[in-house]
Amino acid sequence: MVGRERAEAGSALVLIPILALATSIMLLVIGAIGALGVRHAQLRNLAASCALYASRAVSTTAWEATGQLAIDPTTARLDAASCLGASGVALSGWSLTVTPPMTVTVALEERLAIPVVSWLTGSPALVQATASATQSSSGPG
């Protein structure tokens, strides 16, 4: 019986490094998921800020001509680009959509080089965020 206990005690020593490796990999994956979640929230906030900023681009020409409020797409695009430039974020892509009469939607896309994600998927992580803002003022100014 003493020989059997000694053999089983050795098998526990083999499990310790395996469990340590599995725990380390699990912590790396959880950390990568957390980093992606935080970055997604940051991009959502940036998209919302830039959409709100771009929605200020009320066209005075449309107001004077028709008495109707409308967003000037050219000015809205310039305002959104200014907002994104001021943020300092290196995006892989972004777009702006103006839905008449008064809604602006900003969509952002960023590729992140998170080693665990790149190792698991074979490509960088892609984080996307979209936000819309609607202008509801009674007139320009």
Instruction: Tell me phi and psi for residue 104, to 5 degrees.
Output: -120, 130
Record the pTM. 0.73
Q: CA-to-CA distance for 43 and 94, rounded, in angstroms?
A: 11
DSSP annotation string for 84-104: HHHHT---SEEEEEEETTTEE
What pLDDT sits at residue 79?
A: 92
What pLDDT sits at residue 106?
A: 93
Enumerate residue ranges in the chain where pLDDT < 50: 139-141
- Beta partners for residue 98, in sequence order: 104
Q: CA-to-CA distance for 70 and 140, rounded, in angstroms?
A: 9
Distance, first Cα to last Cα, the chain:
91
What pLDDT sits at residue 138?
A: 54
Q: CA-to-CA distance for 111 and 86, rounded, in angstroms?
A: 19
- E strand or H helix at 125: strand 125-134
What pLDDT sits at residue 23?
A: 92
What pLDDT sits at residue 57?
A: 83
Task: Render pLDDT for 70-104 as a digit per residue (tens, 0 to 9).
Answer: 888 889 999 999 999 898 888 888 989 888 778 89
Q: CA-to-CA distance for 65 and 123, rounded, in angstroms?
A: 51
What pLDDT sits at residue 139?
A: 47
What pLDDT sits at residue 6?
A: 60
